[in-house]
Amino acid sequence: MIWFTADLHLGHESLATQKRGFSSLEAMEHTIIQNINIKVAPTDTLYILGDFSYRCTVEHAHALRKKIVCRKVHLISGNHDKDWSRPEAAHTFILDPPLMRMKTEDGQILVLCHYPLLSWEGMHRGAIMLHGHIHSGQDEQAPGSYNIRMKEEGIFRYDVGVDANAMAPVALGDILAWFRDADAQVPEGL
């Protein structure tokens, strides 16, 4: 199976306790990693669309990555990610370009990026944009309302970040099912 997530912000203490409501940074890190390991099997593929960690040492971030049982973890860097290509961090992740296009077995086009784009390749032909960065759900009364609004507006853009998805990754099949009955709209001015 293929899974997506973003904005884990492991190491980000004030986000953990003040915005996300955890009792401690360690509690947030444990919950997020546990939620990944409950859903994502060692032989699955996990795409992290940016901001794996924030203001923690490479050693601490690497140790947290090792707690994730999935062996194929891709990273599309976000604005808070370290340079994972450095020798001391090499092989922590499978590093992907900042903007990536992939095609599912049934031909669905996905565009992956840390940032939500206003326009992306194939958007007028049903390509789905997956992103993080905006922490939707964090300040909303109904987590997931951003994704609901995008679907209602016919915009095939989905926030895979943990704040929008109960601190857990989202399966590719669930994302495809989410948009199955939606009609893509062409935004005004494009």
Q: What is the pLDDT of residues 136-176, one digit of tens each?
A: 876 656 667 899 999 999 999 999 999 999 999 999 999 99
Number of domains present in the structure of the chain: 1
pLDDT (0 to 100) of residue 41? 98
pLDDT (0 to 100) of residue 143? 66
Whole-number Cα distances in Å, 7 to 4, 165, 169: 11, 11, 11
Domain hosting 96: range is 2-179
Helical (H) or strand (E) element with 130: strand 128-131
Contact 171, 2 (CB under 8 A): yes
pLDDT (0 to 100) of residue 90? 78
127: in domain:
yes
Please report the sign of the dihedral spanned by the C-alpha atoms of residue 91, residue 83, residue 134, residue 104.
negative
Regions of the chain where pLDDT drops below 70: 138-143, 183-190
pTM for the predicted model, two decimal places = 0.92
187: in domain:
no
Amino acid at 26: E
190: in domain:
no
Kindly report the backbone phi and psi dihedral angles of residue 32, in degrees, each rounded to the nearest multiple of 5, phi listed first.
-65, -45
188: in domain:
no
pLDDT (0 to 100) of residue 145? 87
CATH at residue 150 = 3.60.21.10
